[in-house]
Structure 1
């Protein structure tokens, strides 16, 4: 059964927070301090997400993927936070599927819909940040047409440096697929 992608609503926040927390705990095992991952709390995440969603900046959007009436993934995107990107560029802030849904096409459906939305908004390109050592995610983004652009950053997570690399995909103009 294919995943159906639609706009996220406030009624989806609890399910989205469950997917985000379980997604982090699965995808970042061994890449971030385990104590940090173990301390993630679905209810706290949902409360923070509700507060953010109520006052979200213009242009920020989120989609959910459903399968059989159950939310199995989500994406969040909007104007890029990176000053060195093209004018009007967008950024994928998050894209996660429930760990049980990895490899089922739900992530691909979310990414395709996210890129379509960015393209429709007129974004010339889309960027995202991924943990340097998250090979599964990097392969997923590369299959979606993103390439590492050489920019890196390091986040401090509970005193442990966690390196990231930026990926970019052109949507409009020269080099657009």
Structure 2
């Protein structure tokens, strides 16, 4: 491939703005209803509300004390197709937090664009921007597709388990970690 064969990126990843909140809420709800079928109670998934989640996002987005970076991936027409949020590791970890570790809080893509690179574009940008030596995340134990996605990106389970409650049903999550940026050092020896 030469420079004339270069392909424009399909998705633009940028910081989320307040006008994106409704689209992000729709992405999150549709992604949960798609990805968590059989992993969470169906009544719980059916009860998710885009409007209610948008209100939660507005409150969280406006909170200056919360050190969260929200990113969106948009298509060529500006439509929000995915969302990711990251920041310092949270205290929801049963083992405590590492003071300099980051956490990918969420990464979702609309179900109709899963497998097209939206998630990969978001994750790449999170890891590029994250000012932490390591990043962790929590993924549902039964979500094989998401686990494969993160493992392909270099994340590995580290033995941490957290059991959340969804309408009275236990939902186990596994903690994954990886270095935020992988640095490769090459040593060249010149003789002669």
Interval containing the TM-score (normalised by the shorter chain):
over 0.9
Do residues 97 (structure 1) and 109 (structure 2) align? yes
In the aligned structure 2, how far is the partner of 1:176 from the partner of 1:150?
A: 25
Q: 1:45-124 residue pairs with structure 2 within 5 A? A: 45-68=53-76, 69-81=78-90, 82=93, 84-118=96-130, 121=131, 123-124=132-133
For residue 85 of structure 1, report the CA deviation from its aligned partner. Answer: 4.2
Does 2:36 align with 1:24? no
- Verify the 8 A CA contact 1:76 1:95 in the aligned structure 2: yes
Native 8 Å contact 2:27 2:82 kept in 1? yes
> Is residue 37 of structure 1 aligned with residue 49 of structure 2?
no
Q: Is the 8 A contact 2:138 2:175 kept in 1?
A: yes
- Structure 2 unmatched runs, 5+: 1-8, 185-192
Q: Is the 8 A contact 2:72 2:81 kept in 1?
A: yes
What is the deviation of 1:58? 4.3
Gaps of 5+ in 1: none
SS at structure 1 position matched to 2:122: helix
- Label 1:56 to 1:130 Cα distance change in 2 as closer, same or farther (>3 A): farther
What secondary structure is seen at the aligned counterpart in 2 of 1:93? strand
Tell me, yes or no, if structure 1 residue 138 matches structure 2 residue 138. Answer: no
Match of 1:127 in 2: 136
Per-residue deviation, 1:125: 0.2
> What do the CA deviations read for 1:16-41 (whole angstroms, capped 9, x no partner)?
00000000000000000000000000
Whether the aligned pair in 1 keeps the contact of 2:128 and 2:180 (CA below 8 Å) is no
Whole-angstrom CA distance in 1 between matches of 2:47 and 2:180 = 38
CA RMSD of aligned residues (A): 1.5
Preserved contact between residue 6 and residue 64 of structure 1 (Cα < 8 Å):
yes
Distance 1:141 1:16 in 2: 21
Pairwise mapping of residues 165-176 of structure 1 onto structure 2 (< 5 A)?
165-171=174-180
